[in-house]
A and B are shown apart, each in its own frame.
Chain A
Amino acid sequence: MSDRLPEAIDPSLFEFAEFDEGAGERIGYSDYSYWKSTFKVFLKNRMALHLLIVLIALLLFTFVQPLLPGQNSPTKINIDPATSVQMRNKPPDSTFWFGTNSIGQDLWARIWSGTRTSLLIGLIVGFFEMLVGIIYGALWGYVRKLDRAMTEVYNVLNNIPTTIILLLMAYILRPGFRTMIIAMCLTGWLGLARFVRNQIVIIRDREYNLASRCLGTPTRRIIGRNLLPYLVSVIMLQTALSIPGTIGWEVFLTYIGLGLPVSIPSLGNLVNEGRLIMMSPDLRYQLIFPTIVLSIITISFYVLGNAFADASDPRNHV
């Protein structure tokens, strides 16, 4: 059945229109941008957004804190001018916002200094892991000839418990800032390398990579421009998770006595000190404050890493 014809149409409209070839091409495409969509999806995640703000505030503060007026040195043992006695185990008050520890050091200053140290370790190790993990993983996944050898190396290193390596390193090189970093760099890159390798094995025979080989593109450029850009989300996630992981290992090593010496405050040291006196309720603050800071950092990195990984998955870009 026909629809009713409209009455008043200008007869001249029934002439042929000019045919614009370009117009046909232009109507085809859409203006979707991968990174813009990733950003949008990420921002929609309120929890991630809030934690991001919290984390940034925290990070800024750790670096700004020593520059503020009236801050104590984290290592200075504070002595009460009136009594000439160390101000030990003082609960939080107006002078010492987080109280003092068992030898009279300002916990507020110690916590921020400790956070700086731990974060520094986490970031350095994280960066190293990223560098070595990506290079090793990419070559491992892409260059078939190296696959067997590199798999063996991975298996051997992976099977040695991390704890033993860390213990060994700490024993040989003596506990300290550098030792901790070296020891954790030695073991940390394996996880990311494996991830990268698995992802690359999945995408290395996709047609666009075959096309690049046909065009003579050298391996390094295929890895750099064809493969790694797809792995950004995986890499970011792993690195984001490795930072709290590293800090966790640091805490553990300190717990077993192979961490940083007490003279260098770190979150591990602080948690350990707090743990020792946690049974007495009025001294518990010495455990609670470093634990809260540690928890905030850990949770934030985990949530942000996962939120970013989710956001960068194109399937979530609706």
Chain B
Amino acid sequence: MADIAEEIVLDVKDIVIKFNLRGQALTAIRGTSLDVRKGETLAIVGESGSGKSVLTKSFLGMLDKNGWVDSGSVLFEGQDLAAFRDEKPWLSIRGKKISMVFQDPMTSLNPLKNVGAQIAEVYALHRGYGAKQATAAAIELLDRVGIPEAGKRHRQYPHEFSGGMRQRVVIAIAMACAPRILICDEPTTALDVTIQAQILDLIRSLQREYDFTTIYITHDLGVVANVADRVAVMYAGKIVECGSAEEVFYDPRHPYTWALLSSLPQLGIKGKPLFSIKGTPPSLFKTIEGDAFSARNPYALKIDFLREPPRFQVSPSHWAATWLLDPRAPKVEPPEIIRNLRESRQAQDAWFSGSKA
């Protein structure tokens, strides 16, 4: 595990993001804070409706037209990104200092331009390279991200590449200007599992070489376990738990994190039902009182329906926002599956006995 540096490269404080939908102002992010440390890989875990994509889009000024940052700040290199009012200040940040890789490589690429040109564009725009120099740099980068025969293939169009190859091109475009932060929004969800492993490896090696910070947004806990130094768990527009990967996986404290981990089939026992959370995440249109997870939380206390829980520190690097951590709350053991996670590692050892032979 990489040493987590103390320097904070992105500091999000109490950010509130709202949307105007069908005449109503809805709150997608309900006031949450996050700090991103230099050189780390942070994973933001959440399901649909948690707001994870919205949060990171605000770091790039890419909220939909009907959305805005209502309050709070996003400090980056001495500037407050949340205070930007028009496009101009974003131009020197987007693609240059903070870059994003999206889920679907097919819609992220311009189908009418060859891949080399799309990368060269970035060099020309942000670094002022001339045409020849930009193309040469593009070919070099294509080669670095693992596109075979880059010297020839740079002239090909996106549809001539497979899904995994396209995602590599997208990563190349995002990397071209050596950004300080790379945000990857479900970069492997649309890909097959064997390609997924390759893409994650690629991003990891690029991060070592170019020394940037990575933020992953995903709902796949396996991916998180693979890549993350620190993990932030989001539910209904707020971060509910945050800590190092080991802390969150082996010592989770928030009932939602328990529920997420417990429901993984990898940890299930054949013949017995998987643990599953009843119900559905709240829709944005309903106002949320108290803890958003309370309606689905079998461990909910009465106070969960009335007052939102504050953050409680479990260790200097690990906190969770749940009333269960309040000294006045009854002592609750996490579900058996979580307690057995360490023991079930032996079972997982058996899983791999076949492949390791």
Contacts and interface: CB of A to CB of B under 8 A. Distances in A.
B295 A318 contact: no
B22 A17 contact: no
A30 interface: yes
A29 B283 contact: yes
Given A14-B302, A17-B301, A30-B283, A24 B295 contact: yes
A9 B283 CA distance: 29
A23 to B, nearest CB: 5
Contact of B295 (A6, A15, A20, A30): A20
Contact of A17 (B21, B280, B296, B304): B304
Contacts of A70: none
Given A23-B279, A25-B279, A11 B313 contact: no
B281 interface: yes
A275 interface: no
B310 A2 contact: yes
Contacts of B296: 24
A32 to B, nearest CB: 7
Given A2-B310, A2-B313, A14-B330, A28 B303 contact: no
A28 B279 contact: yes
Contacts of A30: 283-285
Nearest to B283: A30
A16 B300 contact: yes
Contact of A16 (B22, B301, B312): B301
B294 interface: yes
Interface stretch (B110-118, B127-135, B139-147, B321-329): B321-329
A16 B299 contact: yes
Nearest to A41: B22
Question: Do most interface residues of chain B lie in helix, strand or loop, or is the interface mixed?
Answer: loop
Interface residues of B, number: 38
A207 interface: no
B311 A2 contact: yes
A21 interface: yes
A1 interface: yes
Contacts of A37: 22
Interface in B298-357: 298-307, 310-313, 319, 323, 326, 328-330
Given A3-B311, A14-B330, A27-B282, A318 B21 contact: yes
A280 interface: no
Interface string A54-89: 000000000000000000000000000000000000
Contacts of A28: 279-283
Q: Is the interface of A mostly helix, strand, loop or mixed?
A: loop
Interface residues of A, number: 30
B270 interface: no
A316 B306 CA distance: 37
Contacts of A21: 278-279
Contacts of A204: none
B286 interface: yes
A27 B279 contact: yes
A1 B311 CA distance: 8
A9 B301 contact: no
A212 B187 CA distance: 33
A215 interface: no
A116 interface: no
A316 to B, nearest CB: 11
A6 B307 contact: yes
A14 B307 contact: no
B302 A13 contact: yes
B327 to A, nearest CB: 9
B107 interface: no
A9 B279 contact: no
A6 B312 CA distance: 13
A214 interface: no
A311 B56 CA distance: 31
Contact of A12 (B302, B305, B329): B302
A11 B330 CA distance: 11
B66 interface: yes
A153 interface: no
A54 to B, nearest CB: 27
Contacts of A17: 294, 300-302, 304-305
B48 to A, nearest CB: 11
Given A14-B301, A318-B66, A23 B326 contact: no
A224 B144 CA distance: 54
A5 interface: yes
Contacts of B307: 6, 9
B326 A14 contact: yes
Contact of B286 (A12, A20, A27, A317): A27
A19 B310 contact: no
B283 A27 contact: yes
Contacts of B301: 13-17
Interface string A16-60: 110111011101111110000100100000000000000000000
Contact of A9 (B280, B303, B313): B303
Contacts of B277: 24
Contacts of A4: 310
Nearest to B285: A30
B330 A24 contact: no
Interface of A: 1-6, 9, 11-17, 19-21, 23-25, 27-32, 37, 40, 317-318
Nearest 7 A-B pairs (CB), nearest first?
A24-B279, A28-B280, A3-B310, A13-B303, A24-B296, A27-B282, A13-B302
Given A1-B313, A16-B302, A317-B22, 6 more contacts: A6-B307, A12-B302, A14-B302, A21-B279, A28-B281, A318-B66
Interface of B: 20-22, 66, 277-286, 294-307, 310-313, 319, 323, 326, 328-330
17 contacts: A9-B307, A11-B328, A13-B301, A15-B302, A15-B330, A16-B299, A16-B330, A21-B279, A24-B278, A27-B282, A27-B295, A28-B279, A28-B283, A30-B284, A30-B285, A31-B285, A32-B22
